[in-house]
Amino acid sequence: MPYPDEAVGFMADGPESFGTFTKRAYKLKPFEEFDIDVKVEACGICGSDVHTVSGGWGEQLFPLCCGHEIVGTAVRVGPKVTTIKEGQRVGIGAQAYSCGECKQCRNGNENYCPVNSINTYGSKWPDTGIVSQGGYGSHVRAHEHWVFPIPEALETTNVAPMLCAGLTAFSRWYATVPGRGRRLALGAETWAISRSRAKEADAKKLGADGYIATAEEGWEKPHLTSFDLIVNCANSSKGFDLPRYLSMMDVHGRWISVGLPEEEGQVIKAQNLISNGVLIGATHIGNRQEMLAMLKLAAEKGLRSYVEEIQIGEEGLKQAMQRMKKGDVRYRFILTGYDKHFARDLKI
Amino acid sequence: MPYPDEAVGFMADGPESFGTFTKRAYKLKPFEEFDIDVKVEACGICGSDVHTVSGGWGEQLFPLCCGHEIVGTAVRVGPKVTTIKEGQRVGIGAQAYSCGECKQCRNGNENYCPVNSINTYGSKWPDTGIVSQGGYGSHVRAHEHWVFPIPEALETTNVAPMLCAGLTAFSRWYATVPGRGRRLALGAETWAISRSRAKEADAKKLGADGYIATAEEGWEKPHLTSFDLIVNCANSSKGFDLPRYLSMMDVHGRWISVGLPEEEGQVIKAQNLISNGVLIGATHIGNRQEMLAMLKLAAEKGLRSYVEEIQIGEEGLKQAMQRMKKGDVRYRFILTGYDKHFARDLKI
C-alpha cells in the first residue's frame, strides 16, 4: 500500500539494463519527528544519476530510484520540524541527512559530515537499513535540515537544477572562502570554457563576459595567470590537458572540480602546480546556509536555469538517459507530470 | 682572472658524473646598479641540488655550480641599492631576480614572476645569456630584491637552510592565507609525520606535539579530518598512499607539497577530494616579505636548524651528495670553510 509507508517510483536495476526504469513501490524510512515528506512535482536529472545508473561510479544499492534535484510540496511535517509548514513548496537536493552533532556539522560543514551522511538516494538509513530513494518517485522523506523553502519568485521546474548543480557551483568556493574569490563576487568577470564554439551564444546569454574554445590553437595563451577560480564541470577527464588549464590560473588560484568523471583520474605532479602555486580541489554540494543564500540570490536577481521538460515515465526516462550519455541536453532535463502520472498508483 | 668578473666554484658536469665536482672559474653576469655581490661563507645543500645534479629534474645548463642557501658578506653594492650596505652579512635563497614590473611582482608574488624569474643557479640571465651560478662557489651576484639582511641573533651556518627550505615551508601557506592556517599561527598544534619512529625524538625536540609513523598499522585512523594543513616534504612519491594522508585533512584543509619528486606524479581523482573538500597544492619558495618575516621570527624566537657542517671541496661535496641520495643527513649539510679554501684561487 503506497504512501505513507511506501512511495512509488521508477527504479533502475543496474548497468546491464541502462536506460530501463521499472515502476515499483518501495519502503520509506520510518517517519521521525524531524522528518518531512515531500510530494514530488519536478526533478532535475543530474549527471550523478547517469553515473550511478550506468555503474560508472561503481557498485550501487540497486534497485534504485534516482533523482536529487527535487521540488514539491511538504505533505507531512514531523512534530519537531520548525522550518517548514505542511503545504509549503520545498526543495531537496543531493543530501537527506547529516548527524548534526559532529565537528563538521557544528562548523557548518554538514555536507562533509563523516559520521552519518545520507544521500537522497542510494544510502542506507541507519537502524533500519532501508535504502534512501530519490525524486524519480512520488514522495521523498528527508530530515528538515535538508529540506528548503523555495522562494515564491522561482518556478518549480526552473529551480530544480539549482538544488544540486547550482548549489555545488555556488558553494563556499564562490561565496565564503575569505580573501580568495574576490573576482567571484557579484559582478565578477566570468568566462565560459568549452571545447567548441557551439555553446558560445548561450554562454553569452547567461552573462559570460568571454568564451574560450579549447579546440582552437593556443586557446590558453591570452589568459596566462589570469583566472582566480576555474570551476571544472567536465564529465570526463579523457584527453584533458590539465597543465594548459592550470597555466591560466592566477597565483594561488583555485581549480575546483564539480564533476566526478568515471575515469581513473589524472596524473598530477607538484611541478605542475608550482609555477603559480595553484590549488586543486573538488567540492561536495553545499551546506544549508549556502543553499538558502543561493535560492535568495536567484529569486532577487531573477536567475534562471536553462531547462528542457520531459514527462516522468519509462519512455521519458529512457530518452533522457540516452541523450545525457551523448551530452545532448541544453542544459538540464526536468521531469514533470508527476501528479498526472502517479495519481492512479497512489490510489491503489 | 677571478672576481670581480668571474667567480670560482665547484661545478657539476651532468648526471653521468654524479657526485663529482670540478673547480673552475666562470663568468658572473655584468654588474648592474641594483646588484649585490656576496662573498659566500656558508651554503646549505638543498634537495634541489641533488635533483638537479642527478638529472632527475631533466635537462640542465651544465656545467653548473649549485647551492641556493647562501650566507656571506656583501662585498660590492650597486649604486642604486638601498637595502644593503657593503660589509653587511646577507643571505641569498633560490631566486636571484624577478622583473619587478609584472602583475605578480606588483602583487607581492614575485616568487611567481612569469616574465623574468632567474633562479640563483641554472637560469640564463637575459641579454647576455650568462648562466646564473650558486653558492658552491666563491661569489654570487644577485638583485638586491633577493638579497636579505641576516639578523644578528642568527648564526651563519645555522640560518643557511632557512633561505630555501625554511622559506618554502614558512611561505604564505602558513602565514597569510586568510581564514585558513589559523592553527598554523604560532602556538599551533603541530605533528610530525614520518615513515618510522627514527626521527621521533628529534621531532619532539623541535617542538612537535605529536608524531605519526606511517609504517604502523592504521596510522591515519586516530587523525581523520583533523589537520588544517599538511606540508608534504617527501622527496619521492613512490609507494605514497595519498588518499590515506588526505583522509586526515579537515574540511577545506590544504595538502601542500614542498618537495618536487622526480617520479611521474600521482593519480588524483576528484572523488578522492570530495569527502572533505581538501585542496592540493605546491609552493614555490616565498616572496621577500615572507623571507624577512621568517628571519625576524627565527631571531626573536631563537629558532635553529639541525645542521651538519661539511668542508667545501671535491671530497666534501661528493660525500654530501652520496649521503643525501641515501637520506643520510640530520638534517641539512652546510658547506663551510670557504675563506680557507678559496683564498688561493682568488689571489691567482
Q: Note the pLDDT tens digit of each residue in B52-64.
A: 999 999 999 999 9
What is the structure's pLDDT at B173? 58
Residues 83-142 (B) with a CB less than 8 A from some CB of A:
103-104, 107, 109, 112, 114
pLDDT grade for A265, boundaries at 50, 70 and 90: confident
Region(s) of chain A under CATH 3.90.180.10: 6-170+286-347
- CA dist B89 and B160 (Å) reads 12
Using DSSP, state whether B15 is helix, strand or coil: helix
CATH label, A6-170+286-347, candidates 3.90.180.10, 3.20.20.70, 1.20.1050.10, 2.60.40.10: 3.90.180.10
Of B260, B277, B282, the CB nearest to A284: B277
- Is residue A266 a contact partner of residue A245, using CB atoms and an 8 Å limit? no
CATH number of B172-282: 3.40.50.720
What is the structure's pLDDT at B45? 98
**Alpha-carbon distance A186 to nearest alpha carbon in chain B (angstroms):** 20
Judge: A275–B172 Cβ closer than 8 Å, yes or no. no
The number of beta carbons lying within 10 Å of the beta carbon of residue A3 is 19
Region(s) of chain B under CATH 3.90.180.10: 6-168+286-347
pLDDT grade for B238, boundaries at 50, 70 and 90: confident
Q: Which residues in chain B have their CB less than 8 angstroms from residue A263's CB? A: 269
Using DSSP, state whether B301 is helix, strand or coil: helix
For range A104-119, the mean pLDDT: 95
pLDDT grade for B180, boundaries at 50, 70 and 90: very low
A119-123, A238-242, B181-185, B267-271, range with greatest mean pLDDT: A119-123
**Alpha-carbon distance B260 to nearest alpha carbon in chain A (angstroms):** 6
Judge: A268–B266 Cβ closer than 8 Å, yes or no. yes
Does pLDDT of B7 surpass 60? yes
| Homologous superfamily of domain range A178-282 | NAD(P)-binding Rossmann-like Domain (3.40.50.720)
For A263, name the nearest residue in chain B, comparing CA atoms only.
B269
**Alpha-carbon distance B75 to nearest alpha carbon in chain A (angstroms):** 32
Q: What one-letter code names the amino acid at A284? A: H
- CA dist B344 and A326 (Å) reads 75
Of B261, B267, B277, the CB nearest to A112: B277
Q: What is the mean pLDDT of chain A?
A: 92
Distances (CA, A) of A268 to A279, B77, B270: 12, 42, 12
Domain topology for B6-168+286-347: Quinone Oxidoreductase; Chain A, domain 1 (3.90.180)
C-alpha grid cell, residue A102: 559532529
> CB contact, 8 Å: B240 with chain A?
no
Does pLDDT of A182 surpass 50? no
A19-33, A166-180, B228-242, range with greatest mean pLDDT: A19-33
What is the structure's pLDDT at A238? 85
DSSP secondary structure letters along B178-229? SSS-GGGSTT---EEEESSSTTHHHHHHTT-SEEEETTSTTTTGGGTT-EEE
**Alpha-carbon distance A217 to nearest alpha carbon in chain B (angstroms):** 21
**Alpha-carbon distance A31 to nearest alpha carbon in chain B (angstroms):** 28
ipTM for the whole predicted complex goes beyond 0.95: no
- Cis omega (within 30 of 0) on the bond before A30? no
Does pLDDT of A243 surpass 60? yes
What is the structure's pLDDT at A237? 84
Among A52, A233, A271, A272, which would you mutate to test the B interface (most chain B Cβ atoms within 10 Å of its Cβ)? Answer: A271
Q: Which residues in chain B have their CB less than 8 angstroms from residue A179's CB? A: 177-179
Region(s) of chain B under CATH 3.40.50.720: 172-282
Q: What is the pLDDT of residues A195-204, one digit of tens each?
A: 999 999 999 9
Q: What is the mean pLDDT of chain B?
A: 92
> CB contact, 8 Å: B344 with chain A?
no
Judge: B283–A274 Cβ closer than 8 Å, yes or no. yes
